[in-house]
Amino acid sequence: MSGLTRTFYLFTGFHSFLLGLLPLFIAVILWDKGLTISHISYVIALTAAGFVAALYYWDRLRATHSWRKLISLSFIFQSVFVLLLVWDNQLALVTIGALINGAAGCFYWSTQRLLFQAITEDKNTGNTFGNFQILVVFALKIGVLVGSYLLGIEYFISLLALSLLLSLLGFSLVNKSLQGKSELYDLKQVPAFSLKQIIGFKDSHHSVMIFTVDGLFLFLESYFWMLTIYMLTQENVMQLGLILIALSILLALIFFFIKKQIDRINAQIIYSIAVIGYACSWLFRAQLNEESSTVMLYSGLLLIAFLSNFFRLAFNKRFYDIARREQPTRYIICKSYYSQFMLILLFSVIGFFTVSTGQALQQLQVLYYLCIPLVFIYFVYGNKYSHQSSHA
């Protein structure tokens, strides 16, 4: 394993565990603190604003090869956000906390994408993403197991101490993996991008259209779908953690068997099936409720998890393959800018229309139904790319 690959997996592994430890339960924690669906929507919008502001600074650090700062700030922002989550001050959490959460997300996800792009090759993105997905599944869910247990027994100080300790250890090991190795510093970095360059981005793959909807689905899954599962399982955080772990073990087995094959099968067929399956997953989400039988609930959760993760595998393969053929750094940064700007708009609208005191689960079900047509926008992504691939 090369030094660059080792750095990527160390960085991703530690952050995945830290995300599972507490931030994965953001929506649940906000809900338990008395926030409504409308309030949580505005928190997401503010988180996106924090991401955009941090991305401007991140891009300039990236352009100057300030890898140590990029890595250290990803752990620092994560730790500060965990501190605000544990600290029982609702106003600070939903304002400063949301902005810090956005900054933490920016420094983690943007750095991770850049590192992932650097270690992939034209013919191995499916396999590499499969390996990455398995790592994330195990690291994230070990964090979930520990985090849900400590949350369930309200050992908040232990959660905070563990998060801070692992952040320090993670930074130390990732930084050590960089010492004496020039691979990361040898990566050619283009100058930082201006807002004019971002606005002027355009390609033949309909990428801008995809960027504007993809962030919506990612945040619906990580916030509102997580909250939906919590509501459907009697609002028991330890039970939620065990469900997530059980699903992850099954998904890890699935990815283990398909991660190599996805690079061998016609990419367009895989992608089309994945998009249709993803649309079905949102239909299934909208239909699960408190009256669903135990068998239907848990089989539905497994099916939804599989369809969603299979779509992410196919989508990310296409995303990184297209990025490699374009200008990778600009492509990745443009995705973040467009996705986050649209998140500010969309979740502000969702917050406005969910301000009523209606039943929260019903509000979420209506939202899932409304999102189904948007899934089919993914079909237009990379038509030129898929045509070229089929003739390669």
The pLDDT tens digits for 363-388 are 999 999 999 999 999 999 977 655 55
H-assigned helices in the chain: 3-21, 26-32, 37-63, 67-86, 90-92, 98-119, 125-152, 156-178, 183-186, 195-199, 207-219, 226-232, 237-258, 267-287, 294-325, 328-353, 360-375, 383-390
**Residue 367: predicted pLDDT:** 95
The arithmetic mean of pLDDT across residues 37-65, rounded, is 94
**Residue 391: predicted pLDDT:** 43
**Residue 13: predicted pLDDT:** 85
Q: Which among 126, 88, 27 has a CA at the least distance from the CA of 360?
A: 27
Question: pLDDT per residue over 236-282, tens digit each?
Answer: 788 888 888 888 777 777 767 776 666 677 778 889 999 999 999 99
Question: pLDDT per residue over 320-344, tens digit each?
Answer: 888 888 788 889 899 999 999 999 9
Alpha-carbon distance of 71 to 68, in angstroms, equals 5
Confidence of residue 392 (pLDDT cuts 50, 70, 90): very low
Question: pLDDT per residue over 281-313, tens digit each?
Answer: 999 999 998 888 888 988 899 899 989 988 998
For residue 15, pLDDT beyond 90: no
Structure tokens at 367: 């939202």
Question: pLDDT per residue over 76-108, tens digit each?
Answer: 999 999 888 887 777 888 899 999 999 999 999
More reliable by pLDDT, 145 or 279: 279
Average predicted confidence (pLDDT) for the chain: 85
Alpha-carbon distance of 353 to 386, in angstroms, equals 38
Residue 308 · residue 288 · CB < 8 Å:
no
The arithmetic mean of pLDDT across residues 159-172, rounded, is 89
